[in-house]
């Protein structure tokens, strides 16, 4: 059985794609989720999928990766958003992952594993026969050759799926009128990562990979994208501005405060920079500095529900729940009772320890749970020093 180990380990690693978030954390934020869904909406429509059935989920992982895991859920790593310079790049990734969904690739993964397993079993039987005949070395050679053939079969199957998702993604971008420039730019980043980590780029290396070589994918897709009328389509400036806001927010939440202050010095008064510093100051338990950045944001957008949400959570998590009620109430109203924001408001009502607020809190929280179709069991249990406005960790659900 030990000779089966290398191949079985690989197959099992692919099988685990069906539940990869089991050992990771999902990061939930109302503004980020709204942005990702708006970025995906035209692509979901182009793919012929029902918008209400597709989720885009953010996983806290610094690696540059995205995947699907059964159902109609696209998982994006935070490292991918950090690496991307434009919303268009992320849309290229989403289009590719939608190609996996429409192609039923997760479901068909078992087919590839079964074909490879058949080769492995056959080689094992041949090896046993040779061993019984007294040809020990021939037996080992037959089994090892079979394992290599099985591995090659499975990897080839995976590469075909990736190429198919590339083609489908290009089609969805075209139908949505979205340029493939971002897709090419992101593949260039992936190729840079491959060179950075000295991954073999030779033609022979492709046969030991789950994905085609990035250089080959770029060459193939560039020709397709440049022939498409959408190639010269400008990026959506509103989506890009929102994307930069979210990147600042995530940086402030995930990075050590000093790294954030270095990346976004006080001289930078842009919205993403103020966002990042507000979260960093909050992580440092410097309420006054966090509120100063928040007030500066509210001067720019006094009715921005996410700025109000930020102020409310800074106050709430700094032990001032009564003061948090007004900004969180307004944020809830302006966001049309967005579940994550409303949940924070309900939590603040309870945290006042004023019994006259409990009835409203129950009403708000019940409505929020009912409206949060992704997963109502999101956590508020992060330690104070590690929490940040508008962002919360959640234990992964089983819905994938």
Predicted confidence at residue 159, as pLDDT, reads 52
Answer whether residue 364 is part of any domain. Answer: yes
Confidence band, pLDDT 50/70/90 cuts, at residue 195: low
Predicted confidence at residue 399, as pLDDT, reads 32
Return the CATH number at 339.
1.25.40
Q: 16-52: buried (b, 16+ CB within 10 Å) or exposed (e) per residue?
A: ebbebbeeeebbbbbbbbbbbeebbebbbebbebeee
d(CA 291, CA 383): 19
d(CA 230, CA 293): 39
Predicted confidence at residue 107, as pLDDT, reads 55
Confidence band, pLDDT 50/70/90 cuts, at residue 98: very high
In a shared domain, residues 214 and 341:
no
Checking if the pLDDT of 103 tops 50, the result is yes
End-to-end CA distance of the chain: 32
In a shared domain, residues 205 and 340:
no
Low-confidence winner among 182-196, 227-241, 346-360, 384-398 (lowest mean pLDDT): 384-398
Query: Mean pLDDT over all residues of the chain?
Result: 78
Report pTM: 0.77
Instruction: Show which of 235, 251, 286 is a domain's final residue.
Output: 235
Checking if the pLDDT of 142 tops 80, the result is no
Checking if the pLDDT of 269 tops 70, the result is yes
Q: In what order do the strands lie in the sheet with 392-394?
A: 66-68, 73-77, 55-59, 26-28, 392-394
Q: Which residue range forms the structural domain that includes residue 370?
A: 303-394
Predicted confidence at residue 161, as pLDDT, reads 72
Instruction: Show which of 235, 258, 277 is a domain's final residue.
Output: 235
Q: What is the pLDDT of residues 10-63, one digit of tens each?
A: 333 444 344 444 456 899 999 999 999 999 999 999 999 998 889 999 999 999
How many domains is the chain partitioned into structurally? 2
Q: What is the pLDDT of residues 360-371, one digit of tens each?
A: 999 999 999 988
Return the CATH number at 11.
3.30.2010.10
d(CA 85, CA 106): 29
Q: Which structure tokens are listed for 255?
A: 């990075």
Answer whether residue 112 is part of any domain. Answer: yes
In a shared domain, residues 228 and 309:
no
Predicted confidence at residue 121, as pLDDT, reads 42
């Amino acid at each position: 059985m030990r000779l089966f180990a290398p191949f079985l380990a690989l197959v099992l690693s692919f099988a685990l794609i069906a539940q990869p978030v089991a050992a990771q954390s999902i990061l939930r934020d109302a503004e980020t989720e709204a942005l990702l869904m708006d970025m995906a909406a035209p692509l979901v429509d182009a793919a012929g999928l029902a918008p209400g059935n597709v989720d885009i989920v953010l996983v806290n992982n610094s690696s540059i990766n995205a995947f699907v895991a059964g159902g109609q859920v696209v998982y994006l790593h935070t490292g991918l958003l950090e690496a991307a310079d434009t919303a268009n790049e992320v849309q290229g990734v989403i289009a590719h992952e939608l190609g996996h969904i429409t192609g039923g690739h997760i479901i068909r993964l078992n087919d590839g594993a079964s074909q490879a397993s058949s080769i492995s079993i056959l080689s094992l039987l041949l090896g046993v026969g040779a061993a019984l005949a007294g040809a020990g070395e021939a037996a080992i050679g037959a089994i090892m050759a079979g394992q290599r053939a099985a591995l090659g079969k499975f990897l080839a199957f995976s590469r075909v799926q990736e190429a198919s998702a590339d083609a489908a993604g290009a089609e969805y971008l075209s139908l949505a009128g979205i340029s493939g420039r971002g897709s090419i730019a992101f593949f260039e980043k992936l190729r840079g990562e491959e060179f950075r980590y000295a991954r073999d780029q030779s033609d022979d290396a492709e046969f030991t990979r789950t994905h085609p070589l990035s250089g080959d994918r770029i060459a193939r897709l560039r020709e397709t994208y440049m022939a498409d009328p959408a190639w010269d389509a400008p990026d959506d400036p509103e989506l890009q501005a929102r994307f930069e806001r979210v990147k600042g927010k995530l940086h402030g939440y995930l990075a050590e405060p000093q790294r954030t202050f270095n990346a976004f010095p006080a001289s930078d008064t842009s919205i993403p920079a103020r966002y990042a510093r507000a979260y960093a100051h909050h992580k440092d338990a410097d309420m006054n500095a966090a509120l100063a950045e928040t007030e500066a944001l509210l001067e720019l957008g006094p009715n921005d529900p996410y700025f109000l949400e930020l102020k409310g959570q800074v106050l709430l998590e700094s032990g001032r729940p009564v003061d948090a009620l007004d900004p969180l109430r307004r944020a809830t109203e302006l966001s049309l009772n967005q579940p994550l924001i409303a949940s924070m408001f309900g939590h603040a009502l309870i945290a006042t320890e004023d019994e006259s607020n409990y009835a409203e809190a129950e009403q708000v929280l019940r409505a929020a749970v009912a409206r949060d179709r992704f997963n109502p069991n999101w956590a508020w249990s992060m330690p104070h020093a590690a929490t940040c406005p508008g962002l919360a960790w959640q234990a992964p659900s089983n819905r994938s």
